[in-house]
C-alpha cells in the first residue's frame, strides 16, 4: 500500500476509535500477499489514549512459526510472542488484539473468530479486556477490505466503520 496516512475506525455512539499506523497496515497487506490463498494472521501491538477510548495500532506481527493455516482456517501460534511483548511492554506498548486474513473473501468475523475474541476478552492471561479484531479480506494488493471489531469483556461486540483523514 502506498498510502502513508493512518486509517481509523470508529462508529457513532461507540466509545472506541482504532487508528492503524500506515506502516503496520502496509506490513499486514504484504503478509497477506505472501500467504496467497491461505489464511494468515498475528497480533496487534499498540498503545491506548489516557482515557482508553483510542487504540493506536503501531505494529502487527506475522504468523508465529507454530501457527496452523489453510485456505479456510487460521489458528495463531505463540512461538516468540511472549518475548516480543515483554520487550514492547518496556517501551510502553501492549497487546491490543488480533488480526487475520480471509483470502478472496469478506472481512466479516466468522463464528469461530467471534468465539476466540470473546475468550481473549475474559482471559486474564491476555490483560486485554477490550481486544480488537482486524480482518483483511479481498485480494490484496489490488483489493483490500478491512473490518475492525472491539470485543468488550462480557458485553456485545462493537463493529467500527473505517474513516480516513482528509
Q: Which residues have a catalytic role annotated?
A: 39
CA distance 158 to 80: 30
CA distance 130 to 155: 10
The dihedral through the CA atoms of 8, 10, 58, 42 has a sign that is: negative
Q: What string of H, E and C letters represents the secondary structure of 127-158?
A: CCCCCEEEEEEEECCCEEEEEEEECCCCCCCE
Which residues pair with residue 117 across a beta bridge?
none
CA distance 158 to 145: 18
Alpha carbon of residue 33 to chain centroid: 17
Amino acid at each position: 500500500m502506498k498510502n502513508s496516512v493512518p486509517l481509523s475506525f470508529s462508529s457513532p455512539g461507540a466509545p472506541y476509535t482504532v487508528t492503524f499506523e500506515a506502516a503496520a497496515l502496509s506490513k499486514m497487506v504484504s503478509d497477506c500477499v505472501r500467504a496467497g490463498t491461505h489464511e494468515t494472521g498475528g497480533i496487534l501491538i499498540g498503545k491506548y489514549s489516557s482515557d482508553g477510548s483510542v487504540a493506536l495500532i503501531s505494529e502487527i506481527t506475522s504468523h508465529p512459526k507454530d501457527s496452523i493455516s489453510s485456505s479456510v482456517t487460521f489458528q495463531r501460534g505463540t512461538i516468540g510472542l511472549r518475548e516480543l511483548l515483554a520487550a514492547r511492554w518496556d517501551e510502553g506498548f501492549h497487546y491490543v488484539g488480533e488480526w487475520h486474513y480471509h483470502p478472496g473473501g469478506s472481512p466479516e468475523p466468522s463464528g469461530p473468530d467471534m468465539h476466540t475474541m470473546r475468550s481473549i476478552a475474559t482471559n486474564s492471561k491476555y490483560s486485554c479486556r477490550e481486544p480488537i479484531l482486524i480482518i483483511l479480506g479481498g485480494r490484496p494488493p489490488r483489493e483490500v477490505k478491512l473490518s475492525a471489531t472491539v470485543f468488550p469483556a462480557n458485553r456485545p461486540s462493537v463493529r467500527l466503520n473505517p474513516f480516513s483523514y482528509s
